[in-house]
Amino acid sequence: MKHNGEYYIIASYLSIPRLIMSASPSPETLLRISAASFRRQRLTILDAVDLTLRREEIVTLIGPNGAGKSTLLKIALGLLAPDTGEVWRAPGVRIGYVPQKLDINQALPLTVRRFITLSAATSTSEVENVLTDTGIPFLIDASVHTLSGGEWQRVLLARALLHKPTLLFLDEPAQGLDISGQDAIYALIRRIRDTTGCGILLVSHDLHLVMASSNRVLCMNRHICCSGRPEEIRHDPAYQSLFGGVNVQHLALYQHHHDHEHPLCDHEHHHHPSQSPRP
Amino acid sequence: MSLIETLQTPFVWRALLGGLAIALITGPLGVFIVWRRMAYFGDTLAHSGLLGVCLGFLLGLSPTTGVLIVCLTLAALLAFLQARERLAADTLLGLLAHTALALGLVALTFLETLRFDLTAFLFGDLLAIDNLDLLWVWGGGSIALIVLIAIWKPLLAATVDEALARAEGVPTGRAQAMFTLLVAMVIACAIKIVGVLLITALLIIPAATAQRLARSPEQMAVFASATGIVALFGGIAASLTLDTPAAASVVTCATLLFALSRIIPVRH
């Protein structure tokens, strides 16, 4: 792999229109993946996938298990290199990454403050600011081993924000949260996009909330089945054949949950400061 | 001879000095071994010690140099196999550890001229270290400690979560390769003094003892070194008064400190 500024040529291909396109991406473009394919053993995991992410845009990858969503995210992050195809990032982009829940050794004493500053050179006031932005200023000196699911997601978001990202990658950011927790996380993600103007690439299973939050949805199953604005996607035959039935159920459930609060269900509500005061 | 008089003899001083160097480096190195779940890796390197001694003898080098070469080769071989094989890390480590031990035993039978004290090799000879041993352990220990401090930040980030750190631009590959090298180096330098069977104990037990009291990663490393030093002094004193094997007494003492750390109440 040749490293040429921020431009990675992973495999050469000689399609002239593409070359012209890749030489002059629009100034709004932060990330572009062109014709990326990825194989392991004889299995094709990704087949000629294209993806473009612009400023102030939330693009969501949806697809069934094994569709290659996480592989594509890792390629976008630079953690994996595609076998063929090309990955381009705008010069000077800063990356924020929210992985799926981490497994940190219990024997490692780590506070939230320390965890989010592990790979960032930063000041105390910046740390306090991102924790306030994500709604968890009271967790600054808490041990990471005592966090609930919702708190973890916010801590991971805070760590990503500390890098002042222009490109934010989120892998199942609302995984394991109940409906109101998911709602709160997605509201936070929309707010981050609106206040920082960063481009956000999201992998998700939460179809209903994704639809409400995304600018564009990429529906994939090893290749891109269809893409477009959420309301367009919903009527696309390719989308309906993958998710149609499921989505109808989810939408019905979502409407129901969204109309009222749940007094009986408070096991995942730690993420609201007022509900979980900490010493 | 009273304990005070004994403490003034050179062999005791050398034991204390050598042990001090080992405790200072095994503390910070050991916490990473505990966090990274690499206890069996240390064991594997120690198992290869005999092969290293034989190799050193064959090549006309010092035993420590031979052990160092074999340890580094094993570490590289493990990285290679992990990338290629689908076997779990502990299976690969078991394969390497026992192959290295068996090869060492086979090699030993062909080296009839090699005078070899198996007991000292297995259990160490803390009270019989000479000035050259001291030079090895202080030289190797200081270099290892300086390098470890230099790579501390990226190594800690990689230990907490490798993919996340790498995505954020941390040079995790370099830090982790360097760490493997340090473990091999420290084991090679300390094996003659502490013995094959007990070197891993000095990496694991002080770190485990420090875990309950520490509030930060750095605190845990410092507490681990302190535990190692207390265990060292206690163990040598016990060895001199009760005439027990020195390295084994040090490890026993460390275990007592571990038990103590679990009993005393800690405010959190």
Tell me which of A114-118, B59-63, B109-113, B191-195 is least confident.
B109-113
Q: Supply the angle between the helices B131-150 and B152-160 in degrees, to the nearest 10.
A: 70
Would you state the pLDDT for residue A237? 79
Partner residue opposite A109 with nearest CB, options B161, B166, B220: B220
pLDDT attached to residue B157: 96
The pLDDT score that the predictor gives to residue A227 is: 82
Residue A246: the pLDDT is: 52
* Lowest-confidence pick of A212-226, B108-122, B216-230: B108-122
The one-letter code for the residue type at B96 is: L
Give the pLDDT mean for A90-110.
90
Instruction: Please list every residue in chain A whose beta carbon sits closer than 8 Å to the beta carbon of residue B213.
Output: none
- Mean predicted lDDT score pLDDT of chain A: 78
More confident of the two residues B125 and B73? B73
User: Quick one: CA dihedral B129, B130, B131, B136, positive or negative?
Assistant: negative
Q: Does the distance separating the beta carbons of B170 and A107 come in below 8 Å? A: no
The pLDDT score that the predictor gives to residue B3 is 67
Task: Point out the residue among A78, A110, A169 whose CB comes nearest to the CB of B160.
Answer: A110
pLDDT at A221 over 80: yes
The conformational region for residue A128 under phi > 0 = left, psi -120 to 50 = alpha, else beta, is: alpha
Task: Give tens-digit pLDDT for B162-209.
Answer: 999 999 999 998 999 899 989 999 998 888 888 888 889 999 999 999
- Decide if B214 touches A, using CB distance below 8 A: yes
The predicted pLDDT at position A25 comes to: 66
Of the candidates B154, B160, B211, which has its C-beta nearest A107's C-beta?
Answer: B211
**pLDDT for the residue A249:** 43
Note the pLDDT of residue B120: 79
Does residue A114 sit at the B interface (CB-CB below 8 Å)? yes
State residue B246's pLDDT score: 87
Q: Using H for helix, E for strand and C for coil, what is the string for chain B? A: CCHHHHHCCHHHHHHHHHHHHHHHHHHHHHHHHHHCCCHHHHHHHHHCHHHHHHHHHHCCCCHHHHHHHHHHHHHHHHHHHHHHCCCCHHHHHHHHHHHHHHHHHHHHHHCCCCCCCHHHHHHCCHHHCCHHHHHHHHHHHHHHHHHHHHCHHHHHHHHHCHHHHHHCCCCHHHHHHHHHHHHHHHHHHHHHHHCCCCHHHHHHHHHHHHHCCCCCHHHHHHHHHHHHHHHHHHHHHHHHHHCCCHHHHHHHHHHHHHHHHHHCCCCC
What average pLDDT score do residues B6-25 get? 89
Residue B17 corresponds to which amino acid? L
CA dihedral for B13, B16, B19, B24, sign (positive or negative): negative
Residue A180 above 90 pLDDT?
no
Instruction: Chain B: give the shortest CA distance to residue A94, in Å.
Output: 8
Examine the predicted complex and report whether its ipTM is higher than 0.90.
Answer: no
pLDDT, position A256: 36
Q: How large is the average pLDDT for residues A184-193?
A: 89
Q: Would you tell me how many other CB atoms lie within 10 Å of the CB of residue B69?
A: 18
Q: Is pLDDT above 80 for A132?
A: yes
Chain B: give the shortest CA distance to residue A114, in Å. 8
Place A2 in a pLDDT band, splitting at 50, 70 and 90: very low
Per-window interface: B 216-245 vs A, CB < 8 A: 216-217, 219-220
In A120-139, the residues whose Cβ lies within 8 Å of chain B are 120
Chain B residues in contact with A41 by the CB 8 A cut-off are none
Mean pLDDT over residues B132-144, rounded?
92
Contact between A32 and A18 (Cβ < 8 Å): no
Domains of chain B: 14-195 (1.10.3470.10)
Mean pLDDT of chain B: 90
% of chain A at pLDDT higher than 90: 35
Q: Which two tokens stand for residue A70?
A: 């996480």
Relative to beta strand A58-62, strand A199-203 is parallel
Between residues A220 and B155, the one the model is more confident about: B155
pLDDT score at A24: 53
Facing residue for A110 by CB, picked from B167, B207, B217: B217
pLDDT given for residue B259 in this prediction? 96
Q: Would you place residue A228 in the very low, low, confident or very high pLDDT band (cuts 50, 70, 90)?
A: confident
Percentage of residues in chain B with pLDDT exceeding 90? 54
pLDDT bucket at A266, cuts 50 / 70 / 90: very low
Question: What is the arithmetic mean of pLDDT over A197-206?
Answer: 87
pLDDT of residue A19: 42
Spatial separation of the C-alpha atoms in residues B157 and A116, rounded to whole Å: 10
Judge contact between B166 and B172, C-beta under 8 A: yes
The pLDDT tens digits for B42-68 are 889 988 988 998 898 888 888 888 999
As a whole number, mean pLDDT of residues A222-251 equals 71
Q: Is the dihedral of CA B177, A97, A60, A206 positive or negative?
A: positive
What's the rounded mean pLDDT across residues A100-111?
Answer: 90
